[in-house]
Chains A and B, each alone.
Chain A
């Protein structure tokens, strides 16, 4: 969990970049940065913001992250900090009037992908967070609760609602996709 700086840490400081050497950090970064960036990009929808938040997350890990964490705890810690940063940014409303920047590689003619993307973007950020952590990262309710700061009991119902909403939004698109795949009778 993220430590809150108290008077002791204020007086004596707790910057600990020296605790992890660069090669160890690179191994950790290579293992965790892609899923974390994908999560950030999925929730906040802006590549520049996602990169900023990713860097901020790892800087906080290097400066304030607890040393005695195993791999899964580190992953949880990183997702939790990233989620908190997304919420902080949303609260500060920095991006309220900034238009969404198109991502690299986005070209016309990718109808299906864009359909999925635009469909998923109709979900609220909190719903996107929950669905991503549950279905892409494969986290259980306890882990999601730790990452989002919600109660584990709330996760169950919130996740159910988000899944139901996403399935409802995806249903017409899946039907269209199935129709495209079927042979069209009148043109045979």
Chain B
């Protein structure tokens, strides 16, 4: 296929779209194969465009707006759920760890009666190796709660209603 192109093709198409033809361009379009094709195709497409635009109206803007709001709320809820699920996972890790730690820490020898001593227990907790682990868990839990709540608050501030622009 021979690749025939004319530098006036865009001008011809623009003239066909707007209806403003200069005499020189009109004469040129009659003699130039590429430009006459461009004019014919533009004309046919414009007829199709006019028909589509007159026969069909797009849906109301308000519907699209409300749909976007609904999706935004869903999106924010998903984000909040992500953080709360992370919190649940954290709980599933920390609760068994806490139980294991507590059992191992407070297991007393069989021959000695167990004497609870609040002061010594508290001191060992504050200075023991479990402190960074526990602190990390607490910080992560706080982060999850904060982020999840933030998304829920944002969701609450995205009401499913619109103004008078129907």
In the complex, chain A residues whose CB is within 8 Å of the CB of B149: none
In the complex, chain B residues whose CB is within 8 Å of the CB of A145: none
Nearest A residue (CB) for B66: A22
CA distance A55 to B151 in the complex (A): 25
CA distance A35 to B40 in the complex (A): 20
Nearest B residue (CB) for A112: B47
Cβ-Cβ contact count across A and B, 8 Å cutoff: 137
CA distance A35 to B61 in the complex (A): 14
Q: Are B44 and A116 in touch, CB under 8 angstroms?
A: yes
Q: Are B68 and A135 in touch, CB under 8 angstroms?
A: no
In the complex, chain A residues whose CB is within 8 Å of the CB of B53: 34-35, 38
Nearest B residue (CB) for A17: B72
The listed residue (A13, A22, A63, A131) touching B41 by CB distance below 8 A is A131
The listed residue (A13, A30, A41) touching B151 by CB distance below 8 A is A13
Residues of A in contact, count (CB < 8 Å): 53
Secondary structure type dominating chain A contacts: helix
CA distance A37 to B37 in the complex (A): 26
Q: Which of B9-17, B91-99, B121-129, B132-140 contacts A (4 or more CB under 8 A)?
A: B9-17
Q: Are A59 and B61 in touch, CB under 8 angstroms?
A: no
Band of interface residues on B: 35 or more
Q: Are B13 and A170 in touch, CB under 8 angstroms?
A: no
A63 in contact with B68 given A51-B58, A166-B44 (CB within 8 Å): yes
> Of residues 1 to 41 in A, which have CB atoms within 8 Å of B's CB atoms?
13, 15, 17-18, 22-23, 25-26, 29-30, 33-38, 41
CA distance A140 to B52 in the complex (A): 23
* CB of A113 closer than 8 Å to a CB of B: yes
A13 in contact with B79 given A63-B71, A160-B5 (CB within 8 Å): yes
A58 in contact with B64 given A18-B158, A132-B45, A170-B44 (CB within 8 Å): yes
In the complex, chain B residues whose CB is within 8 Å of the CB of A58: 64, 68
* CB of A134 closer than 8 Å to a CB of B: yes
Q: Are A59 and B79 in touch, CB under 8 angstroms?
A: no
Binding site for B on A (CB under 8 A): 13, 15, 17-18, 22-23, 25-26, 29-30, 33-38, 41-42, 47, 51, 54-55, 58-59, 62-63, 103-106, 113, 116-117, 119-120, 131-132, 134-136, 138, 140, 156-157, 160-161, 163-164, 166-167, 170-171, 174
